[in-house]
A = this chain, B = another copy of it.
Amino acid sequence: MADQLPHVFAVILAGGSGTRFWPASRKLRPKQLLSLAQGEEQTLLGATVERISPLVSPESTLISTGSHLISATRAAVPDLPDGAILAEPLAKNTAPCIAWAAQVIARRDPEAKVIVLPSDQHAADAREFRRVLGLALEEADAGRIVTVGVVPTRPETGYGYIQKGPARRGDAFEVSSFKEKPDLETAGTYVESGDYLWNAGMFIFRAADMLSAVARHLPKLSAGLEELSAADPEATSAAAVARYFERAESISIDHGVMEKESALSVVAGDFGWTDLGSWESLWEFWAKDESGNAAGSEDLFIDAERNLVVDLRTERPSEKAAALVSVRDLCVVLTDDGVLVIPRSESQRVREVVRLLQSRGRDQLL
């Protein structure tokens, strides 16, 4: 723990209600609470906390999540203290949440710096990931609001891009512009140019700087924060927090603050980043046998190629087996109560399954 940095806090955004990993993900068990690393028990949230633990102490690590997920979230990060959970009574996108967290943290440490991280990403090279965050914290020390941009490896149309401006230090750059998800051709020109990075949704800043930025760009939200602090200086009492979220505009930190702010930096990072957004992306992420099949347990593939088998059944884990014979490019996902069979290339269509379950009122499968 000798490396942990003074005044550094983390806020991990763990409020997602992912339907993209049905039947594994559910309302009460969203993606960040799943164990999606191959053959591992750890949740994505737990892995995120562990990844930054050399930088940030448990006492300075906060988890932002929805009220309905408090106990499941606590169970996923048992080593964090009780006060680590920031529970949002209402989902109002990221700006109200991050502003609130900045307020809570600034009260605890006026010199605090904050690392905001999604809870559902993977970084293969954790050491490099922390080096990048260290550089981002140096930029934050200079009064910048900082984001991490992932060096793109393909013309991905599913992410936003950040255009680098003039270099500042090391891998840190001014931010020239934010770009929405591009079409394939545009994405290709972005990647070829070398000037663009993937927006990975990570933000690093001094708490006081974020509060100033919120005051400049989202004055109503800032007024709500002041009201919250007036009602409860710690800014954590349930009733005052509920009133704050009820009044808050639903807006992302990207639109509400980043795109309006001028003192922005981006640190380019290349640490084996994966955004686990679909079963297809999990197949890409997992190790595969010589036929391209990816499985988490000792499954049986006979004349089967490029399939993904995710077996999350809790019954008799050492004895179970999935057998795939003469099938190709399928995702097969098993839980105790659900099963999904879908072509890998269409794995986004799992949303249609969730909608069908909703329309049929089969709430216990949601």
In the complex, are the beta carbons of A337 and B353 less than 8 A apart?
no
Q: Which residues of B contact A22 (CB under 8 A)?
A: 323
Chain A 303-338, CB within 8 Å of chain B: the 1/0 string? Answer: 100000001010110011111111100101010111
The one of B300, B327, B349 that contacts A343, using a Cβ cutoff of 8 Å = B327
Q: In the docked arrangement, what's the CA distance between A322 and B313, Å?
A: 14
CB distance from A5 to the nearest CB of B (A): 46
In the complex, are the beta carbons of B325 and A340 less than 8 A apart?
yes
Is A342 interfacial (CB-CB < 8 Å)? yes
Is A350 interfacial (CB-CB < 8 Å)? yes
Q: In the docked arrangement, what's the CA distance between A298 and B364, Å?
A: 14
**Within residues 326 to 366 of chain A, which ones have a CB less than 8 A from any CB in chain B?**
326-327, 330, 332, 334, 336-343, 346, 349-350, 352-353, 356-357, 362, 364-365
Given contact pairs A22-B323, A339-B339, A341-B341, enumerate 12 new A-B contacts (beta carbons under 8 Å). A303-B349, A316-B337, A319-B364, A319-B365, A321-B357, A322-B341, A325-B342, A325-B346, A326-B343, A326-B349, A332-B339, A332-B341
In the complex, are the beta carbons of B330 and A327 less than 8 A apart?
yes
Q: In the docked arrangement, what's the CA distance between A365 and B320, Å?
A: 7
Report, as a range, how many residues of chain A touch the other chain.
35 or more
In the complex, are the beta carbons of A324 and B337 less than 8 A apart?
no
In the complex, are the beta carbons of B320 and A356 less than 8 A apart?
no
In the complex, are the beta carbons of A302 and B341 less than 8 A apart?
no
CB distance from A286 to the nearest CB of B (A): 18
Given A302-B353, A353-B302, A356-B302: A341 in contact with B321 (beta carbons within 8 A): no
Is A23 interfacial (CB-CB < 8 Å)? yes
Q: Which residues of B contact A321 (CB under 8 A)?
A: 23, 337-339, 357, 362, 365
Chain A 38-78, CB within 8 Å of chain B: the 1/0 string? Answer: 00000000000000000000000000000000000000000
Q: Which residues of B contact A342 (CB under 8 A)?
A: 323-327
Closest residue on chain B to residue A350 by CB atoms: B325
Q: In the docked arrangement, what's the CA distance between A302 and B365, Å?
A: 16
Given A325-B352, A325-B353, A327-B330: A319 in contact with B337 (beta carbons within 8 A): yes
Closest residue on chain B to residue A362 by CB atoms: B321
Q: In the docked arrangement, what's the CA distance between A258 and B48, Å?
A: 72
